[in-house]
């Protein structure tokens, strides 16, 4: 049996400041827990290894979704179910809303959190490509102070991020998109519920005032690289062009060429490359046909 020298502790503070104090004191000796839907799977056969827990469940300010001037602020403890049901998220960030609705099952969505999805940093984390596509920034707090970091700079590799043991991810900040921003979410997996994605695509397009010329674009994918990635070459090819005059096939080919996925139980490298191209084309067509309907 495991011999422990210090008594185990369970902390469930109500204030962020208390949580930060505990973190600075315990560092790696304590496990931070939010919904637990990833953590308890990882620790399925070795839960006894964890002695002390810092549970964020009582910190109210981590649970709200609010608009602050021109940005949306989402607390790290907001659940996937909350994201899915929020009218504001649906309105401004439909790709994120749909991605949240596709996660796991009701049981998982009721417990799993956006902050957990981010710090767990699975290459297949469903919310990560959408967050990147909406230019999300993460607020990291420690007793030393705050650090704001972009989604792109946060992820280092599978399950690896820049988050330090004394830091807590507290808030996700999304700039409110301009009018005429359109998006598409595609998740490919072997079944609908409770599936880890084989590949995901979050496409967000901002049109200029004529509603036809591409002003800005993000094509972000999950499950095709060690971290969620943006295909930046797509920006060069699309910005400034009329959307309906673009060569969708060529754009799909760029996505296929620029990713280097691995073979795993969810799909081969070759399969992922083929599918990446197809879903890029499908997403462009979907945005195009929605655009044509608007013109009628």
Partner 1 sequence: MSKLTIGFIINGQKKIIETTPFTRLLDLIRDDLHLTGTKEGCGKGECGACTVIMNGELVASCLILALQADGAVITTIEGIGSGGHLDPIQKAFVETGAVQCGFCTPGMILAAKKLLEENPYPTEEEIKRGISGNLCRCTGYQKIFDAIKLAANRLSTRDGGRGEKDA
Shortest CB 131 distance to partner 1, Å: 23
Phi, psi of 184, deg, nearest 5:
-145, 140
Shortest CB 184 distance to partner 1, Å: 21
CB nearer to partner 1: pick between 119 and 280: 119
44 to 63: interface string for partner 1, x by CB under 8 A? x--xxxxxxx-x-x------
CB nearer to partner 1: pick between 44 and 296: 44
**Structure tokens that stand for 227 in this block:** 């971290």
Please identify, among the stretches 6-14, 63-71, 200-208, 272-280, the one whose residues bind partner 1 according to the rule CB under 8 A: 6-14
Count, residues near partner 1 per rule CB under 8 A: 35
Give 118's contacts (C-beta < 8 A, 6+ positions apart).
76, 125, 127, 128, 131, 138, 154, 161, 169, 172
Place of tokens 């967000």: 204
Please identify, among the stretches 36-44, 65-73, 153-161, 241-249, the one whose residues bind partner 1 according to the rule CB under 8 A: 36-44
Nearest CA among 6, 21, 8, 5 for reference residue 52: 8
Q: What is the DSSP letter of 267?
A: B
Chain-centroid distance, C-alpha 224: 14
Shortest CB 29 distance to partner 1, Å: 12
Identify the three-state secondary structure at position 134.
Answer: coil
Is 8 a binder of partner 1 (CB under 8 A)? yes
Is 194 a binder of partner 1 (CB under 8 A)? yes
Beta bridge partners of 149: 138
Identify the three-state secondary structure at position 238.
Answer: helix
Is 12 a binder of partner 1 (CB under 8 A)? yes
Q: Which of 15, 40, 157, 263 binds partner 1 (CB under 8 A)?
A: 40
Q: What is the DSSP letter of 9?
A: -
Q: Which of 108, 208, 246, 262 binds partner 1 (CB under 8 A)?
A: 108
Report how far residue 77's alpha carbon sits from residue 6's, in angstroms, rounded to the nearest whole number: 29
| Alpha-helical regions (H) of the chain | 16-26, 39-42, 80-85, 87-92, 94-101, 106-111, 114-120, 128-133, 151-154, 233-238, 248-258, 269-295
Is 265 a binder of partner 1 (CB under 8 A)? no
Shortest CB 182 distance to partner 1, Å: 25
Q: Which of 17, 25, 106, 290 binds partner 1 (CB under 8 A)?
A: 106
Site residues (vs partner 1, CB under 8 A): 1-2, 4, 7-10, 12, 33, 35-37, 40-41, 44, 47-53, 55, 57, 81, 104-108, 110-111, 192-194
């Amino acid at each position: 049996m495991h011999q422990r020298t210090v008594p185990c502790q369970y902390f469930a503070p109500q204030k962020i400041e208390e949580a930060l104090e505990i973190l600075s004191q315990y560092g790696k000796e304590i496990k931070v827990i939010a919904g637990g839907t990833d953590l308890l799977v990882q620790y399925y056969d070795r839960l006894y290894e964890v002695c002390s827990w810092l549970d964020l469940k009582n910190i109210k300010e981590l649970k709200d979704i609010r608009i602050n001037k021109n940005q949306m602020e989402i607390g790290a403890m907001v659940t996937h179910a909350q994201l899915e049901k929020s009218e504001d998220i649906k309105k401004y960030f439909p790709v994120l809303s749909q991605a949240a609705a596709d996660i796991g099952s009701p049981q998982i969505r009721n417990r799993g959190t956006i902050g957990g999805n981010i710090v767990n940093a699975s290459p297949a984390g469903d919310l990560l490509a959408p967050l990147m596509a909406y230019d999300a920034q993460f607020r990291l707090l420690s007793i030393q102070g705050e650090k704001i970091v972009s989604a792109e700079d946060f992820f280092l590799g599978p399950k690896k991020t820049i988050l330090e043991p004394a830091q807590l991810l507290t808030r996700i900040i999304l700039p409110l998109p301009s009018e005429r921003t359109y998006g598409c979410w595609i998740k490919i997996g072997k079944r609908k519920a409770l599936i880890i994605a084989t590949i995901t695509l979050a496409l967000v397009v901002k049109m200029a005032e004529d509603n036809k010329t591409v002003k800005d674009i993000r094509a972000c994918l999950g499950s095709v690289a060690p971290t969620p990635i943006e295909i930046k070459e797509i920006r060069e090819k699309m910005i400034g062009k009329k959307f309906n005059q673009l060569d969708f096939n060529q754009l799909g080919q760029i996505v296929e060429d620029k990713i280097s996925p691995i073979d795993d139980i969810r799909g081969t490298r070759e399969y992922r490359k083929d599918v990446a191209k197809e879903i890029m084309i499908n997403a462009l067509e979907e945005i195009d046909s929605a655009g044509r309907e608007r013109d009628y």
